[in-house]
Structure formats: structure tokens, C-alpha cells
Amino acid sequence: MIAQLTKTTACLALLSLAPFAQGARLTEQPVPDFTKGDPIGERHDWNLGPTGARGWMWGWKLQTTKARQIYVTQVDAGSPADGVLAQGDVILGVGGKDFSSDARIAFGNAITAAEATDGKLLLNVWKKGKTSQVTLQLPALGAYGDALLSSEKSQKIVDAGCKHMAERLERELADIDYSSWVSKRGPRGYSSREIMNTVDALALLASGKPEYADLVKQYAHLVAPQQLNLPLSPTVGMASWGWGYINLFLCEYHLATADDFVLPAIEKYSTSIAKGQSFIGSWGHAMAWPVYNQGKIHGSLGGYGALNSAGLICHMSMVMAEKCGVQNAEISQAIEKANKFMGFYAGKGAIPYGDHFPGWDRHDDNGKNSMAAVIFDLQNMRDKAQFFAHMSVASYGERERGHTGNYFSYVWGPLGTQRVGTEATEAFMKKQLWFYDMNRAWDGSFPYQGGANSGKGEHSYKGWDATGAFVLSYTLPLKKLHITGKSIDASQKLTGSKLASVIEAGAGFSNWDEGTDYFVEKSPEELIAALKSWSPAVRFRAAAAIAKKEGGEKLIPELITMLESDSLTTRYGACQGLGALNERAAAAVKPLQSLLWEKDAWLRIQAASALANIGEASKSAIPALLKLAITESDADPLQITQRYIAFGLFDARGVYGKKGLLSKSLKDIDRDLLYKAVQKILTNPDGRTRGTVGSVYKTLSFEELKPLLPAIVKAIEEPSPSGVMFSNDIRLQGVEMLAHYKVREGMALCLQILEIDKWGKRRRISKSLDVLASYGGAAKPVIPQLHQLEKDLLVHPEAKGLTPQIEQVRKLINDIETAKTAVKLRTLD
């Protein structure tokens, strides 16, 4: 059957792959020819390695695959490029040849080659209408060699980087009055300074160089005063970042130096972090402050909820605190809860931004899997550590990705790979040497280069110094710190054919196509083999490729057979392949449905996701899916299974692919089972999951909704404890439904959910006032509360930004007061 499937260049459009739908590729900007006067693009230029020059080249989301020219934008005085290159010059090639591939990668490789020999970098340069060859003289650092991080070149890079970091850190310490900075309310918690300073201090400590010992000690004592005060208060903004990184540094410093001066601060930081953990085991930009939770700790997070990049560093720092001998019940319980939260993602994909689905389309997500590899290895939790470390090794082509930038990707990537041995780290690093040499400036520093697909612009960490992030990688052979390998179990090495297969798992990745174009070229036999991979990302890409191939449905019998395999990963892959084929996989509905009650929760989820993607033909599975939605499992404490089912059944927006099977019609659906499922989903911890059942509000009549009203009202009154970013949706849908049916109690609920001091207030206030306006003159009893709202908004700290809402309140008061038509109301009673 496999042999019948043929390759085609006319690929079918990939519709959707739960849980992540492929985003449409936007129109690329044209490739300029600078020799013909074409202008450079906006925003982002690049450091051109240790030449002392910066240059702009064609790019799309910071990928430069089609760039064949580099426009010189800056030349530093005294650098190797000074007097040889000038602003406006165009670099056309290296080594005597014009660029015939990605100019950025080719330039980086040319630097590596030049430094390995005599340091001479030959460039083809267009200057004022004429083309010639010029030579830049770089320092001859030597070759990386097979043991690249232990090479003489790497040690020279460490020496220069440490010198730069020490000078920068000395300037920072002279510029910041840490005594007043700390004494008022404890550290603010976050700024670029806290993170950069701490990562640089960690790198200096990891270098083991005695000449920096006093500087590192000075920094440690400054951020660990004996009277450290860390109140659990929202006035300490973005606390998770600063507290986590500072605490990690102090732990490593204490273990390296035996300096007991910092132990009280370690205990204070760790205990405060533990108290600030949310009830599900996560952290946000800040802590789960008691003010958000009626004075209780371990409640919901403020802001927009969980942020795992900050949470993982908090988690790691507590694990390290216990290694320092700092132990109490709060810290131990917080570590256990974080282990469950972060550990859930083992075997499933990349740890996501927050309290979201696993990223089964990628090997890492801005360093979070790499951080997890370190965390679980430090605790001897080998299975989880190995999975996340293998994912890190395979992520070598994905490191430039990162929400708002990729700084953390480069801090943690190599450190995560080292948990499975030096050979794995060397193989991972060899794939990126061009990038490391391209990022290294002529003064030994590593300026931040920008993150691909950053989401908020191409250079979100502009001005950051990334030297510590990169130098940490070069210190791995020294194993001076626990995070750089001091406590690694040598028996966990990834070598030989197993290492080769993990490296192959990362091949062909592109931020544009998630690697599916690379997989489309594979034979049917190779795609079937890929669907059996240990790697969720490989299975995802293979499934996407099958969906793109003409005749992909011919693999369905083979995929159905794979559903009965003894291998869980094979069964996962079969579900993903069938789900990718969408309605073409209708023949698989019955065998997929039989998996819904399997013991393995992830297999149940994969089967449910595939059924949802298949669409109309899966309607026979709806009763089983509804039953599964109301079934609780000790193996799924966060009710992740229910989340996938909720989207597959009720989501009217198609957030993760197709719209839900019941999002348009509930005809012939058992009402008792439907009500139980909706009621259960309305209690799901995740706000976005709750929001899916808003489609039910629009589909059922008021009489049919009556049994659900208590649950609907409770979901309005009590916001979801996680998925806070999306918690507004179901609350607003609830008050909209009540207003549509002119339910009197809906007016009070509109006012109750305003919460003008919480994240998302602008949209929430505006939408609530719009809903309240639909009551017309019937809303006159709430006019006093609206006047009070106006007063509260006028004195709000963000009053200027709330001007539209203030005007909306004033208009609403006037409209209600002048309304002449009476609206007949009904009550929940």
C-alpha cells in the first residue's frame, strides 16, 4: 500500500493539525539589489562577527535565506574593518566568490574558516559603483576542532568575553545604588539589568577565573543583603524574573565558594518564590499575589497568567536552594507541584509560553525544554531529563525562534544538551558555529542579534548584552557549576547511532514551514517511519507532509494498523497522520474512537484531536467524547484531556484548526450528556477552554439553557484560575447571553466583572458597558454605580489610557437617563 503513494510537486494545502494550525505565510518583501540603488529595509541589521562592521541584508522574520548581498551600515573605529569597509559598501561574497546561498550563514562560515588559519577574510565588495576584493585581518584564534568547546579558540573566546563582562558589570555596580534599591521593598524583580547582570555573573563564576572572584563576590553580597525584604506584594513588578535568576546565581555562588553570607537571602528568595506559586504550579511575570486571591497564597496569577520562561527559573532556583541545604515545607511542596506542572510536557512536545497545550510542532520553545532538562536532571528524574535533553539536541535549527526574542534560547540551549553528554553538546554546537562566530563582536562581546518570529518586532531585546548567554556555553567543559554540568550523571550519555538519529530529527527545520517542506520530499516509507519517531516534532512534520502529498489518503490503511501497535509513539504518530488528513480519514473514525478509553491520557488526547480534525464523519463519536469530557483522571490533574475535547466539540473560532463538531448545531445531541459536559467544562481551570462553550449559549434557546444557568453565572462570577489571558471570554459571553434574554441579574454581573485594576481591563470594561447599554432604560437602578465607576476611573493610575472607557461611561449614563422605552426583564428565579 505504501508503494502506491507517489510524490508530487503540486502539494495540497495543509488545512490544520491539532493542536497547532499552520499559519499562512505572509507575502515576503522583495529581495533588494543594493548595487542598483535599492534601499535597505527597516529595523534590523546584523553584527558581522569580529570584523567591527554591521550590515543589513534581506530577511523575513529574521531568516535570511534569500540574502545574497550585505549592505554595510556601520564600521567601528579601530576595528579590523576600519579603513577597509565603509557605510554604504555592499559585500557581494566571500573567499573570492559571490554569495550563492544565505549570505549571513556564508559570512559566518567564512569567519570560522579565516580564524582557523591566518585570520585573513577575503571579501568581494561593491564600493561606489566599482567591485573589488578586499581583505580584513582578523585575529587568528585557531580551529574549533572536534572537541570544539575545549579548543584553544573557545578558551580565547571565554577570556575575551569574561573581560568584557567584568568591565560591564563593574560599570553596572557603580551605576546602581543597590542599598537603596533593595532596602525599600526588595528588588523590583525585573529589568534587563537584573537578568543581564546575573547571567554575566553566572558566566564569570562558571569560568573559574580567580581574577573575577572579588567582583562576583561583590555582586553576590549586593543582591543578598542581610536584611533582605521580599514582601508578597504586587508593587514588586515582574518579580519572578529577577527573583528567579538572582536566587539561582546565589545558590551556585554559595555552592562554589561556601560563602554562608548569602544563605539567608537564598532562603528568603526561595520561600517567597514558593509562596508566590499559583495553585497549578506555575508562575507569571509576577507572583500569585495574595491581593488577587482574597489574601490567600497559591491562588490565581495576576496579569495574563502563567509565563513558563519565568516560572522555570523560579523552579530551578528552588531546586538549587535545596542543594544549598535550604529546606522547608513550603519550598518542597512548591518544587513537587512545579515538577507535576512542567513534567506534564515530557514526552509530548515543547513547554509552551504559559498554561497552554504542548508545542508538539517543535523541539524547543525559546529555551524552555532546555531549562527543563537541567531542572529534572538536577533532581535525578532521568526519564523526563532525557526527553527534554533529546529535544534540546534536536533543536539546533530552531534556536533563533523565541517569543519577543531568543536571548533565553541561547542561555539555556547548550546547557540542556549537556545533560546527555559532551558528544551531544558538540554535535548540537557544530550545527551553529557560524551563528556563534557571526554574533561575536570584535571586542569579545556578543551583542543581542534579534529573534526570529519574535512576535513583537524583530529586535525586541534591543540594547541587551548577550555575552553571558553565549560564554556560559563555552564554559561547559569546565563543569564548575551545577547548571554547567558539575552534577551530571555520566551514564546518561547520548552517543553513536542514537545521537545521529536525534540530530537527524532536527534536520530541515524552517520557521516558515515548520520543516514540512523537507519532509514532503521523503518517500512514503520514510514518512511512515517518521510517524513512529520518539520526537513529537518529527511526527508532526511527517503528518503535515502526508497531508500535503497528493494521494496521502492511500496511507490510511497503514495508519489504522499502526493504531494497534505496542509502541505508544507509533500510536501517537498514527493519530497525528490521520488527523492531518482531515475528512479524508473518515474510515479511521471507529478505530480512533476505540482509543478514547485507553489508559494513556496522551493517546486519548491524540485520538480525540484526530476525530475533531476529521470533522463531519466523526459525529458518531460525539457521545463518547462528551462522556470523556466529564471523566476525571488522577493522571490528568489539570484536565488537559477535557481541554482538547472542548475545542474539538465546541470551539466556534477554529483556534487550533477546524471548528468544533458541535459549534454550529446541537441537533439530536443527548441533552443530559451535553449539560453535564458543559457544566464540567465551565469549571475547567483554563480560561480559553471555558470560552469554547460560549457557542452553546448561541445555539440553545433560553428554555434549553435554564439547567445551565447556575454554572453559567458561576463562570461569570469566578474567573478561571489559569489561562488568565483568555479568562474574559466566557465571562463576557455569559453576560451577553443574559442581556440578550434581558435577565435582570445580568446588569449586576456586568458591573461585577469590570475589575478595573486587573489585566485586560480596557476590553472588559468596554464590552461590559456595551452589554449594559442593551438594557436601555431598565438599567436606571445601576446609575449610581456607574457614577462611582466614572470617579474610580478618573483617579485610576492609568486614567489617561482609560479615556475612551471614561467617555463611554458618561455616554451610557446619559443614554440610560434619557431612555424612554421600557424593557421588560425576566429574572433567574
- Asked whether the CA dihedral 216, 218, 219, 220 is positive or negative, the reply is positive
Give the per-residue pLDDT at 30.
Answer: 86
Q: How confident is the model at residue 489 (pLDDT cuts 50, 70, 90)?
A: confident
Give the per-residue pLDDT at 6.
Answer: 36
| Measured distance CA(203)–CA(162) in Å, rounded | 8
> 563 near 591, Cβ under 8 Å?
yes
Residue 80 has pLDDT above 90, yes or no: yes
What integer is the mean pLDDT of 32-61?
A: 90
Residue 275 has pLDDT above 50, yes or no: yes
Name which of 268-282, 292-306, 620-634 the model is least confident about. 292-306
> 574 near 565, Cβ under 8 Å?
yes
Residue 581 has pLDDT above 70, yes or no: yes
Residue 822 has pLDDT above 80, yes or no: no
| Three-class SS state of 587 | helix
Query: Can you name the residues that pair with 82 across neighbouring β-strands?
Result: 85
Give the per-residue pLDDT at 657.
Answer: 75
Give the per-residue pLDDT at 454.
Answer: 42
Q: What percent of the chain has pLDDT over 70?
A: 92
Q: Which residues contact 188 (CB under 8 A, 6 or more apart)?
A: 181, 194, 236, 237, 238, 239, 242
Residue 453 has pLDDT above 70, yes or no: no
DSSP class of 24: P
Cα distances (angstroms) measured from residue 594 to each of 277, 603, 634: 39, 11, 21
Q: Which of 209, 219, 211 is nearest to 174 (CA)?
A: 219
Q: Which residues contact 22 (CB under 8 A, 6 or more apart)?
A: 14, 16, 514, 516, 544
> 269 near 247, Cβ under 8 Å?
yes
Instruction: For 122, list phi and psi in degrees, rounded to 5.
Output: -90, 125
| Measured distance CA(302)–CA(61) in Å, rounded | 31
> 416 near 422, Cβ under 8 Å?
no
| Measured distance CA(303)–CA(295) in Å, rounded | 17
Instruction: For 458, list phi and psi in degrees, rounded to 5.
Output: -75, -20
Helix, strand, coil share (%) of the chain residues, nearest 5 = 55, 5, 40
The DSSP secondary structure of 732-748, one letter per residue, reads HHHHHHHHHTTBTHHHH
| Measured distance CA(670)–CA(692) in Å, rounded | 19
Give the per-residue pLDDT at 38.
Answer: 94
| Measured distance CA(742)–CA(746) in Å, rounded | 8
Residue 56 has pLDDT above 90, yes or no: yes
Name which of 83-87, 136-140, 211-215, 235-239 the model is least confident about. 235-239
The grid coordinates listed for 88 are 554604504
> 245 near 261, Cβ under 8 Å?
no
| Three-class SS state of 731 | helix
Give the per-residue pLDDT at 451.
Answer: 60
Give the per-residue pLDDT at 238.
Answer: 80
What integer is the mean pLDDT of 158-176?
A: 93
Q: How many CB atoms lie within 10 A of CB 9?
A: 6
Give the per-residue pLDDT at 301.
Answer: 82
Give the per-residue pLDDT at 758.
Answer: 86
| Measured distance CA(35)–CA(89) in Å, rounded | 9
Q: How confident is the model at residue 226 (pLDDT cuts 50, 70, 90)?
A: confident
Q: Which amino acid is at 433?
A: L
Q: Which amino acid is at 262?
A: V
Q: What average pLDDT does the structure give for the chain? A: 90
- Asked whether the CA dihedral 352, 439, 164, 73 is positive or negative, the reply is negative
> 499 near 424, Cβ under 8 Å?
yes
Give the per-residue pLDDT at 27.
Answer: 60
Q: CA-CA-CA-CA torsion for 658, 662, 667, 669, nearest 10 degrees?
A: 130
Give the per-residue pLDDT at 456.
Answer: 44
Q: What is the per-residue pLDDT across 199-210, written as a single tens digit (0 to 9) for each? A: 999 999 999 999
Q: What's the distance, Cα to Cα, between the start and end of the chain in Å?
A: 63
| Measured distance CA(381)–CA(489) in Å, rounded | 11
Q: How confident is the model at residue 14 (pLDDT cuts 50, 70, 90)?
A: very low
Q: Which residues contact 740 (CB under 8 A, 6 or more apart)?
A: 774
| Measured distance CA(398)–CA(259) in Å, rounded | 39
Q: What percent of the chain has pLDDT over 90?
A: 75
**Total H helices, total E strands in the chain:** 35, 7
Residue 797 has pLDDT above 50, yes or no: yes
Give the per-residue pLDDT at 228.
Answer: 83
Q: What is the per-residue pLDDT across 476-488, written as a single tens digit (0 to 9) for each? A: 999 999 999 998 8
Residue 23 has pLDDT above 80, yes or no: no
Give the per-residue pLDDT at 524.
Answer: 93
Residue 410 has pLDDT above 90, yes or no: yes
What integer is the mean pLDDT of 335-357?
A: 94
Give the per-residue pLDDT at 181.
Answer: 55
Q: Where are the alpha helices (DSSP H) in 365-495?
A: 368-378, 382-393, 407-417, 422-430, 433-439, 467-474
Q: How confident is the model at residue 293 (pLDDT cuts 50, 70, 90)?
A: low
| Measured distance CA(399)–CA(423) in Å, rounded | 19
| Three-class SS state of 725 | helix
| Measured distance CA(202)–CA(194) in Å, rounded | 12
Give the per-residue pLDDT at 377.
Answer: 97
DSSP class of 621: G
What integer is the mean pLDDT of 496-515?
A: 88
Peptide bond into 225 cis (omega under 30): no
Q: Which residues contact 27 (CB under 8 A, 6 or more apart)?
A: none
| Measured distance CA(697)–CA(730) in Å, rounded | 10
186: left (phi over 0), alpha (psi -120 to 50) or beta: left
Residue 452 has pLDDT above 60, yes or no: no
Q: How confident is the model at residue 393 (pLDDT cuts 50, 70, 90)?
A: very high
Give the per-residue pLDDT at 10.
Answer: 31
Q: How confident is the model at residue 190 (pLDDT cuts 50, 70, 90)?
A: low
The grid coordinates listed for 556 are 490510511
- Asked whether the CA dihedral 175, 451, 357, 303 is positive or negative, the reply is positive
| Measured distance CA(249)–CA(251) in Å, rounded | 5
| Measured distance CA(441)–CA(53) in Å, rounded | 9
Name which of 83-97, 454-468, 732-746 the model is least confident about. 454-468
Q: Where are the alpha helices (DSSP H) in 117-238?
A: 152-175, 178-183, 192-207, 213-222
Q: How confident is the model at residue 801 (pLDDT cuts 50, 70, 90)?
A: very high
The grid coordinates listed for 736 are 451577553
> 444 near 164, Cβ under 8 Å?
yes
Give the per-residue pLDDT at 191.
Answer: 65
What integer is the mean pLDDT of 520-546?
A: 95
| Measured distance CA(88)–CA(34) in Å, rounded | 9
Instruction: For 97, list phi and psi in degrees, rounded to 5.
Output: -125, 145
- Asked whether the CA dihedral 564, 567, 568, 570 is positive or negative, the reply is negative
The grid coordinates listed for 475 are 564554559
| Three-class SS state of 703 | helix
Q: Which amino acid is at 313?
A: I
> 574 near 560, Cβ under 8 Å?
yes
Q: Which of 169, 60, 82, 68 is nearest to 126 (CA)?
A: 68
Residue 669 burial (C-beta neighbours within 10 Å; 0-12, 13-18, 19+)? middle
- Asked whether the CA dihedral 608, 350, 515, 559 is positive or negative, the reply is negative
Residue 636 has pLDDT above 80, yes or no: no
* Domains within the chain, CATH numbers bracketed: 34-137 (2.30.42.10), 148-505 (1.50.10), 630-741 (1.25.40), 744-829 (no CATH)
What integer is the mean pLDDT of 249-262?
A: 98
Rg (CA), the chain: 29
> 442 near 76, Cβ under 8 Å?
yes
Q: Which residues contact 566 (CB under 8 A, 6 or more apart)?
A: none
What integer is the mean pLDDT of 465-474?
A: 96
Residue 179 has pLDDT above 80, yes or no: no
Residue 19 has pLDDT above 50, yes or no: no
